[in-house]
Amino acid sequence: MTTVETYATLDDAARAMGSDAAYLAGGTLLMRAVNEGNAPDRLVRLNNPNPKEFRSSGDKLILGAGLTMAGVLSLRELDFLHPVARVIGGPQIRNMATVVGNLFAEHPYGDFATALLALGAQVVPVGQGSPRPVEDIFRDRSRVGLISSVEFHRPRDPRAFGFLKVSRVKPKGVSVLSIAALLPREGGRIRGARIAFGAMGATPLRSAGAERALEGQSLDATSIDRAAAAAIEGLDPPTDQIASAWYRREVAGVHLKRLLTGMERI
């Protein structure tokens, strides 16, 4: 039997958490589990979450736990992330689903989390804990406490960030895969390449092969071809209703090449 506990602040909610509890944010994943009888015994929620919870400090962007996909789309400061938020679910889901909740979305969901991984985002735990890289969450989602915000630095040139979601159904479809790329350039050379794949594993994953092929290079046909060839190095994509592991392996490099070629032109 599910019980619901409602709190005024995230601090109060954090104190109420435990192994038998789940935090109810947008509800798009957790309420589905409730409906199917698979939810934890206790749901912990806030009385009044703010769907547009956002602040910035210099070039640091801080997305609060209540911020929804529609909230992202309403903020001009996050315009470079609009192409990501726009392909999460349909309009109703975007009005409900939160950015922080997406970090906990299981395969094949988590396209926004893929973008956060490429951006090198950090999560800020509720309370005294120091910020931790999003990779920490993906390592073991069950051991993460409540998160108050996710933060990252705005790319100096927003065109250094690119995102592509591949789905069979448009405009609303589940990912065959998604790709996020952060390619900051200094004097025409890529410094600090980060390439992340979504739906290519149990969580969003970085492509070490593609990053190595791009680091220190200019973004051109040669480096793009090398990145595409190395894209799936070390990745073991799953088979599901959307695509087989074989198919995902075959097309990952092709789509990475398309994304990078589009980023080359600008």
Partner 1 sequence: MARTPVTFNLNGSPKAAFANPGQNLLDFLRRDVGDLTPKFGCGQGTCGACTVTINGQTQLACLVLAEAVNGQDVRTAGGLGQGATLDPLQESFMDHFAAQCGYCTPGMLVSARALLDQNPRPTRDEVIEAISGNLCRCTGYEPIITAILAVAEGRERA
Angstrom distance (rounded) from CA 192 to CA 106: 27
61's enclosing H/E stretch is: strand 60-64
Binding-site member from 8, 9, 11, 32 for partner 1 (CB under 8 A): 32
- The β-bridge relationship of strands 21-23 and 42-46 is parallel
The window from 1-9, 157-165, 185-193, 258-266 that contacts partner 1 (CB under 8 A) reads 1-9
Angstrom distance (rounded) from CA 200 to CA 132: 23
Kindly determine how many residues on this chain lie close enough to bind partner 1 according to the rule CB under 8 A: 26
Does 24 interact with partner 1 (rule: CB under 8 A)? yes
**Max intra-chain CA distance, the chain:** 60
Does 95 interact with partner 1 (rule: CB under 8 A)? yes
Closer to partner 1 at the Cβ: 93 or 229? 93
Instruction: Using the Cα atoms of residue 205, residue 208, residue 211 and residue 216 in order, give the sign of their dihedral.
Output: positive
Residue 144 structure tokens = 């993460």
The window from 34-42, 99-107, 115-123, 219-227 that contacts partner 1 (CB under 8 A) reads 34-42
Does 31 interact with partner 1 (rule: CB under 8 A)? yes
Does 3 interact with partner 1 (rule: CB under 8 A)? yes
Binding-site member from 16, 17, 21, 34 for partner 1 (CB under 8 A): 34
Q: Which of 45, 59, 54 is nearest to 74 (CA)?
A: 54
Q: Which residues bind partner 1 (CB under 8 A)?
A: 1-4, 6, 24, 27-28, 31-32, 34-36, 39, 43, 45, 70, 89-93, 95-96, 171-172
